Amino acid sequence: MEFEKYHALGNDYLVFDPKGKDITFSEKEIIRICHRNFGLGSDGILLGPTESDRADYKLRILNPDGSEAEKSGNGLRIFA
């Protein structure tokens, strides 16, 4: 699985492009991937662009605790 790691103002995110792929992570997988000692280490995962009914595209932001965030300033900065 290919990904990039980006940094923005002290935060780092793993960025996955789900275009043409079925990329899904369980809560446990997200926690493990983002773990600084046992995983790749990051402040979260960005999945995008994904399809949206309300806009041209959508960004999914996954927190290191496995939950999905509504927004992230530095995550959006990286995605832009």
Give the CATH number, domain containing residue 74: 3.10.310.10
Measure the CA–CA gap between 44 and 31, rounded to whole angstroms: 9
- Confidence category of residue 44, pLDDT binned at 50, 70, 90: very high
* Average pLDDT, rounded, for the chain: 92
pLDDT level of residue 22 (50, 70, 90 thresholds):
confident
Domain count, the chain: 1
In the chain, the percentage of residues whose pLDDT exceeds 70 is: 100
Region 23-50: what's the mean pLDDT? Answer: 95
Burial 64-79 (b: 16+ CB within 10 A, else e): bebeeeeebebbeebb
**What are the E-state strand segments in the chain?**
4-8, 11-16, 45-50, 58-62, 68-69
Q: What is the pLDDT of residue 58?
A: 83
Structure tokens at 16: 């996955």
pTM of this prediction exceeds 0.75: yes
pLDDT of 67: 98
Q: Domain range spanning residue 16? A: 4-79
